Amino acid sequence: MRATPAAYPVDRLVGKWGVASYRQEKDKARTEAMARAQCKLPYTISKGPTDGVMMHVADDPSPHELTLKGGPQGKTYLGFEGPPGDDQDREILSMSENEFVVRYINPETNDRYGTLIYVRCKSA
């Protein structure tokens, strides 16, 4: 399956983010507040060398260049170059200028990491 254009520009991911995760939808609001509190030690997403973004992947301490990929049913994925919805991808569940929410496609990885909320940190 070939990737279609992503619903979001990759540049929207660049910046400093507070990150937290949850496993049950009822915990989402509390987790957003926890992510905001993480801005004192923000996670930085920078532009990659070939139009992607530099981020960590599951179980690897080194950042890699990832890209946004459009998939079937209008879904958007974040991952390595390749087919959308790959086992190493994350599905973008929602995205705005100041927040995005992702879950890992691989069920075992998703069980360990949960649904991740990234909240943009305000400039100092």
Vertex 20, ends 15 and 25: CA angle to 5°? Answer: 120
Number of Cβ within 10 Å of residue 96's Cβ equals 10
123 has a pLDDT exceeding 90? no
pLDDT tens digits, one per residue of 84-98: 999 999 999 999 999
Residue 44 near residue 119, CB atoms below 8 Å:
no
pTM of the model: 0.92
pLDDT tens digits, one per residue of 38-58: 999 999 999 999 989 999 999
The CA-atom distances, in angstroms, between 75 and each of 19, 20, 23, 40, 56 are: 22, 22, 21, 32, 21
